[in-house]
Chain A
């Protein structure tokens, strides 16, 4: 936990005075700010890398636009007018300055990428949040039940399910879900439609979210269970809690589980990157109208501006996801929030 450790080294904050003032002046925010700044090179690095990669690959954009039968000179002319024959660092610079003005450019289909992103990003976000929230909630419940009696029935079952969740490929799982729930049981549609209201939300996004979420659930459950069991068996404050006469369930939930959440938050942040990749495939399978789908289409059509734009969004989400996790950790862990006070 780099951020947390940095803060702990630098704390000098004073004691209890008023929450807002505390957090505002707190070392947590200062280090978070620094972390934000250091995220920028990462963002630039990622987008630049994409440009580099795409430019080293054979450039067939103009060809793709004009079609296979276009004459070579037409292709060259189009390349020139699109600025595609310029060195990649020049192209990158143009793109970057446009982006900083909020303009993501136009795709080769001629559509405004801004518009495209604006309409598609919410859907993907909804899908990811759905998967994330449900898997976290279920993971907490199952991990608590499992940790209550290590090596008991609930524990062994949760372990087995976790191995399954970790080992199954999301795309294969998605198809299996379709076979069972959409074809045989017809509870959900095979292909996802637009999400306009809560009921369409659940109808259209449940199977895709489950495809992504099962793997997440497996990871989180294993982590939490291991953490909680370790706390219950090793930590002194658990013994103190028991010595007070607190009932075992309360000890587990109010003491052990509560402290295990920190690791969970870190892992959630770290996993965000892979989540996006999985989302892309799942969106394709279910035809969810999100940016994952767009990305894959863009890649196959050599639609560089579109791909760049989406990659940037992905990178932003990943970086900010990590940052959010760091911040949440800083806010929730009182050791960081309040620093040390002399006494």
Chain B
């Protein structure tokens, strides 16, 4: 039998998140976007948080960074190298934001200030946290541009975002995030807005940089395929909660054992070359639930092909049923084999 997840993951972790909850007020209703999430990341390791839109994956990470609008209720614990981040004031949190932990965003076209030179946007990140002269910051910025493999870095320093291609813009965003050599990097759908080739390049870049700098990388995506290729540990979220959590090898490797129907469905939805042509992709019917009006019992029950009465009656808890592998389901998959 498993043990309920109340205890804190082992020490040595760079980021320890415990029972994180985020609630908004919108249109007169309270929306619990994140309803109790626990995970940990160690330096040099990659965690993938996978989920549909509305699952709370982005909100949770932004809450840790302190990027949610004022008036949002955040509770729980998120410790960065032992320092508790939840509950800090914005000016306190700002010391860590951009220097110890950083974030790369989804749409490079909109994430950069269109009227500010690219280099200046990087030096701004540097000079916010370090006492250096403008010239030194300039040097460091050019170095960063080289680090993210942008050719002709000295020239590019003076260019504006619209003069760069999408892939290069994303590299600039990464350069900004890495300006102060953070120990923790969030990549929020960092490759979603890019074409597939560029996607691969950026992911490779991120992993190389992770090795070089010894960072912990948390990447957020809806693409389980990315998680399979690049992550060490995978967390699957649905309706604000974690529904499956395991090392990537356990889920995707040979004899992989995916237990959750939801994860199974996400996997099955990835197109495979081996399938015969013109096969219909199996998709999950229905839509993610409205966070303000969650059904009783398991949140996935309305869409789950193997839902039973006990699923609709009572919500399953996230439990470690197998070593390192947690899931929350009354009727998990029998075997993890492909459909």
Contact = CB atoms under 8 A, between A and B. Distances in A.
| Direct touching of A and B (C-beta under 8 Å) | yes
Interface of A: 15-16, 233, 235-237, 239-248, 254-255, 258-259, 332-335, 338, 340-341, 343
B111 A236 contact: yes
Q: What are the nearest 10 A-B pairs in CB distance?
A: A245-B98, A236-B110, A244-B98, A244-B125, A245-B97, A334-B160, A237-B113, A341-B163, A245-B94, A236-B111
Given A239-B67, A338-B160, A244 B124 contact: yes
Interface string B41-68: 0000000000000000000000001010
Interface string B96-122: 111100110101001111111100010
B132 to A, nearest CB: 15
Contacts of B98: 243-246
Contacts of A235: 110
A233 B71 CA distance: 14
Interface in B155-195: 155, 158-160, 162-165, 168, 173, 176-177, 179
B155 A16 contact: yes
Contacts of B99: 245
Contact of A341 (B97, B117, B159): B159
A196 to B, nearest CB: 42
B114 A240 contact: no
B182 to A, nearest CB: 10
Nearest to A241: B113
A136 B131 CA distance: 35
A242 B98 CA distance: 8
Interface residues of B, number: 41
A259 B114 contact: yes
Contacts, number: 97
Nearest to A243: B103
Contacts of B162: 334-335, 338, 340
A343 B111 contact: no
Contacts of B125: 244-245
A341 B124 CA distance: 24
A235 B103 CA distance: 16
Contacts of A242: 67, 97
A340 B163 contact: yes
Nearest to A238: B113
B149 interface: no
Given A236-B111, A247-B94, A258-B113, 8 more contacts: A16-B159, A240-B113, A246-B94, A254-B124, A259-B115, A333-B115, A334-B162, A341-B163
A338 B65 CA distance: 35
B176 A244 contact: yes
B213 to A, nearest CB: 17
B90 interface: yes
A258 B91 CA distance: 23
A333 B160 CA distance: 10
A16 B158 contact: yes
B152 to A, nearest CB: 9
Interface in B8-49: none
Nearest to A236: B110
Contact of B102 (A243, A247, A254): A243
Nearest to B179: A244
Contacts of A338: 159-160, 162-163
A333 B159 CA distance: 13
A109 B252 CA distance: 96
B97 A343 contact: no
Q: Which of A242, A244, A247, A338 has the most CB of B within 10 A?
A: A244
Nearest to B95: A245
B122 to A, nearest CB: 9
Contacts of B90: 248
Q: Which of A233, A334, A341 has the most CB of B within 10 A?
A: A334
A338 B266 CA distance: 44
B128 interface: yes
Contact of A246 (B107, B112, B124): B124
B129 interface: yes
A335 B268 CA distance: 43
A239 B105 contact: yes
Contacts of A340: 162-163
Contacts of B95: 245
A169 B154 CA distance: 56
Nearest to A15: B163
A62 to B, nearest CB: 59
A293 to B, nearest CB: 42
Given A244-B125, A244-B176, A338-B163, A239 B113 contact: no
A242 B113 CA distance: 12
Contacts of A247: 91, 94, 128
B173 A240 contact: yes
22 contacts: A15-B159, A236-B111, A240-B112, A240-B113, A242-B97, A243-B65, A243-B105, A244-B102, A244-B176, A245-B94, A245-B125, A246-B94, A246-B98, A246-B128, A254-B124, A255-B113, A258-B113, A259-B113, A259-B114, A333-B115, A338-B159, A343-B163
Q: Which of B69, B102, B162 has the most CB of A within 10 A?
A: B162
A246 B129 CA distance: 9
A335 B176 CA distance: 21
Contacts of A233: 69
Contacts of A333: 115
B146 to A, nearest CB: 16
A255 B159 CA distance: 17
A338 B116 CA distance: 12
A245 B225 CA distance: 32
A222 to B, nearest CB: 22
A190 to B, nearest CB: 46
Contacts of B107: 236
Nearest to B173: A240
Given A16-B155, A259-B115, A334-B114, A240 B176 contact: yes
Q: Which of B67, B95, B111 has the most CB of A within 10 A?
A: B111
A43 B171 CA distance: 50
A241 B173 CA distance: 11
A15 B162 CA distance: 11
Nearest to A343: B165
